[in-house]
Amino acid sequence: MPKLSPTMEEGQIARWVKNEGDTIEANETIAEVDTDKATMEMTSLEAGTLLKILVPGGENAKLGQIIGIIGEKGEDFSALLNGESNNGGGAKKEEAKKESADESPEKSTEPVSEKEETVAKQGEQQVKESVSEIEGRSYDYQRPEAMEDPESKILNPQSKPRLIVSPIAARMASENDIELKSINGSGPGGRIIKRDIEEAIKGGQQSAVSSQLSEQAQVAPNFEQAAEVQGASRFREENTSKMRQVIAQRLAQSIGPVPTFYLTVEIEMDKAMEFRKQINASVSEDEKVSVNDIIVKVAAMASSKHPFVNSSYQDKTIRFYEDADVGVAVAIDEGLITPVVRGANRKGITEISKEIKEMAARSREKKLQPEEYTGATFSISNLGMFGIEQFTAIINPPEAAIFAIGSAAPKAVVRDGEIVIRNVMNVTMSCDHRVIDGATGAKFLQTFKQMLENPILMLM
């Protein structure tokens, strides 16, 4: 497993592009790998034949772990499988093997194509041997028909079959009240995947909640009968996806050693919203901008007047950036990713809007390249579209600041001794105190507020 992104420590095989026995040219794509943030193409360093797939689609592998063997057609690679060195012209490894005694494979992404299932069947024995009692995506539900299936006993020596479910399928089932026990998974190793849930929804499957309500209605037709609860609540455990692991790792790093303080300011957004209307009235439909696009532009311009906001702490130095590379938080199925608008201080609002839309779309498809989501100088997280009025965001090191943007909502305020209605937005700035002092952050927010309340100041 090669290192395909700067923060990658292990990868998950999304699918094998090549099958066992296929001829491979040097630099030809042989597999697609899910890293912590994106799906990357993995190419072969040398030409040959794909003799063996050791890590099938849906499985995880640490950096340096053998995931497949390439060599000459018909070559004996049994020594490699036994962990022995095959000196002098043996089968070529993708990378040097790195053992991990406690490694528990994950199955956190959906198959990219139908080919993955074929590849998974070729590696079925490895799947059976790798699934354990503590494996993620396992639900502690018994499937009666599986109890009679001798194959299912391989999955659980105690003959207590579990459901193996991908994160997306689990979420979809929960959102649509789908009963997982009644679904037969079509993914590798019997895993329940997204399309299984989609078929269940199309088929009009009765939800678990509906079934329970129906049963309760028959047993307890009135509201006076108390519900019987025995013992603690049942639960399920899932292995975390690579993206969620990295998010947890980075945020723990931030909230621990990074001394953080928060500053909140109220901003009247009426003129900014009118400014947006004027822009959208003069551009085509696909060029229309959002309030968030304007916020990105204003933050970038304000940071040029307050360089400490656009800097990072480097132990013995402070690194000041010439341009504002603004990270814009985008929610995707497995967590959060922050595409970066490079040099936002030098770009127009419509150009910023176009970049954000394009990168957000590719973020959700996991098509961003590492250089497109790393290296921001500060970030913006906007939850206003979800009705959130105010919140605090966690700094993404080594950035020195992140701005939490709430919704702009009508509010009664006092102006010149009179009560008037204004669209007010709360912005909370999280600051790394090693770089940004309280007064520094406050002065930045003053500039930021002035520009949003009077957009014409962006021209000065």
Same domain assignment for residues 251 and 194: no
Low-confidence ranges of the chain (pLDDT < 70): 37, 83-163, 166-168, 171, 188-189, 204-241, 244, 247-248, 251-255
Q: Which residues are catalytic?
A: 433
pLDDT of 223:
39
Q: For residue 228, tell me if it sits in a domain.
A: no
Residue 265 burial (10 A CB sphere; 0-12, 13-18, 19+):
middle
Same domain assignment for residues 155 and 260: no
Give the whole-angstrom CA distance, residue 233 versus residue 211. 19
In the listed set 122, 149, 166, which residue is the last one of a domain according to the structure? 122
∠ CA 334-336-341, nearest 5°, is 140
Q: Which residues pair with 320 in a beta bridge?
A: 311
Place of tokens 């990357």: 40
Strands (E), 238-316: 260-268, 311-314
CATH of the domain at 194: 4.10.320.10
CB atoms within 10 A of CB 369: 12
Contacts of 192 (CB under 8 A, 6+ apart): 163, 164, 165, 166, 169, 173, 180, 183, 185, 186
CB 400 within 8 A of CB 431: yes
Same domain assignment for residues 334 and 396: yes
In the listed set 122, 145, 169, which residue is the last one of a domain according to the structure? 122
**Model pTM score:** 0.53
CATH of the domain at 253: 3.30.559.10
Give the whole-angstrom CA distance, residue 164 versus residue 310. 45
Same domain assignment for residues 141 and 109: no
Q: For residue 323, tell me if it sits in a domain.
A: yes
Range of the structural domain that residue 90 is part of: 10-122
Same domain assignment for residues 266 and 191: no
Q: How many domains does the chain have?
A: 3
Q: For residue 233, tell me if it sits in a domain.
A: no
Residue 230 burial (10 A CB sphere; 0-12, 13-18, 19+):
exposed
Q: For residue 110, tell me if it sits in a domain.
A: yes
Same domain assignment for residues 306 and 201: no
| Rg, the chain, Cα only | 27
Which of helix, strand or coil describes residue 16?
strand
Strand pairing class (10-16; 29-34): antiparallel
Same domain assignment for residues 252 and 400: yes
Which of helix, strand or coil describes residue 256?
coil
In the listed set 101, 122, 143, which residue is the last one of a domain according to the structure? 122
pLDDT of 40:
83
Give the whole-angstrom CA distance, residue 373 versus residue 339. 4
pLDDT of 331:
87
Q: For residue 128, tell me if it sits in a domain.
A: no
Same domain assignment for residues 39 and 163: no
For 147, the token pair is 């109890």
Q: For residue 95, tell me if it sits in a domain.
A: yes
Q: What is the pLDDT of residues 78-122, one digit of tens each?
A: 887 776 443 333 333 344 333 333 443 443 444 444 444 443 444
CB 18 within 8 A of CB 121: no
Same domain assignment for residues 52 and 190: no
Same domain assignment for residues 307 and 427: yes
pLDDT of 290:
95
For 378, the token pair is 């500060």
pLDDT of 399:
94
pLDDT of 410:
94
Same domain assignment for residues 114 and 148: no
Cα 283 to the center of its chain, rounded Å: 33
Same domain assignment for residues 274 and 158: no
Q: For residue 1, tell me if it sits in a domain.
A: no
- Nearest CA to 243 out of 341, 143, 109 is that of 109
CATH of the domain at 55: 2.40.50.100
Q: For residue 235, tell me if it sits in a domain.
A: no
